[in-house]
Chains A and B, each alone.
Chain A
């Protein structure tokens, strides 16, 4: 009996590791910025020449920071959800227009709808690098003190919204 016990235990342990490992996404890079203050910047506002926007303007409110681009296919996937979120007025959504051209970006918003309170232009991607962005779309949840509380990589899905983001937002808004 003892002969079979140790290999069985080893097998079960291995199966445990595999079960966890296969559920993980190997391409996901966890962000070291969660729990740290959102990096400061001052960027031109998309569609409003002369105006600038910075994260300090949103202190005192919980807000979503969504990195998007008109050339990004996956951004279209999450767009309806962001529109719904904006309509529900649960939390303001601020956009970061990543490496895009202003006319293209504005046309995209005009065609599909604009869920953003405002979008910051990040034509050369420098602001995004400060936020550890490595792909589009990515979404940050930032609290009232301006600290990044969560980062979601990839398009926001209803599942992620319901189970992860909205509960966190509600908790932070209290």
Chain B
């Protein structure tokens, strides 16, 4: 009887709780989505390996606020990026732009790969030209014959 009563009380208690659906914090979900999409391509300057979208740093929140404000003013995504790059430089972009300065950054590894590949080919070619060990050249063979046919001078 007691157990049953306890159960009823517990269920009754639980039934009184009301859980609402989590309200989205942003007033404009479309803008928010656009902002987050852009912020994911940007770097948080404080925690420099996090994106601006995910970072919890104070500056990241401020920059997200600024992005929202610029977007509300009507700036396009490219213009917002320009706004940030003007203040923080190319580092704020996750993908460094391909321009004169970053040429080496983008193509350096491929150039190194080509150089290393070239060096490897060179070494292989040189190796092929050397006679295999154990195979004597004609001059060496004649010399060996001459030495072996000499009689016991070296004991």
- Residue numbers of A with Cβ under 8 A of B are 6, 27, 29-33, 99, 124-126, 129-132, 134-135
**Residues from 55 to 106 in B contacting A, C-beta threshold 8 Å:** 58-59, 62-63, 66, 85-89, 91
Interface size on B, residues (CB 8 A): 15
CB contacts (< 8 Å) of A131 on chain B: these are 87
23 residue pairs bridging A and B, Cβ less than 8 Å apart = A27-B48, A29-B88, A30-B91, A31-B88, A32-B85, A32-B86, A32-B89, A33-B86, A33-B87, A99-B58, A125-B58, A125-B59, A125-B62, A129-B66, A131-B87, A132-B87, A132-B88, A132-B89, A134-B59, A134-B88, A135-B45, A135-B46, A135-B59
Among B46, B88, B119, the one with the most A-chain Cβ atoms within 10 Å of its Cβ is: B88
Assess whether A32 is in contact with B88, with CB atoms less than 8 Å apart.
yes
Minimal Cβ-Cβ distance residue in A for B90: A32
**Which residues of B have CB within 8 Å of A132?**
87-89
Task: List 6 tightest A-B contacts by C-beta distance, closest first.
Answer: A134-B45, A132-B87, A32-B89, A125-B62, A29-B91, A132-B88
Chain B residues near A129 (CB-CB < 8 A) = 62-63, 66, 87
A11 CB to nearest B CB, Å:
14
- CB nearest neighbor in A for B91: A29
- Complex Cα distance A167/B56, Å? 39
Taking CB as reference atom, which chain A residue is nearest B45? A134
How long is the Cα–Cα vector from A100 to B109 in the complex, in angstroms? Answer: 46
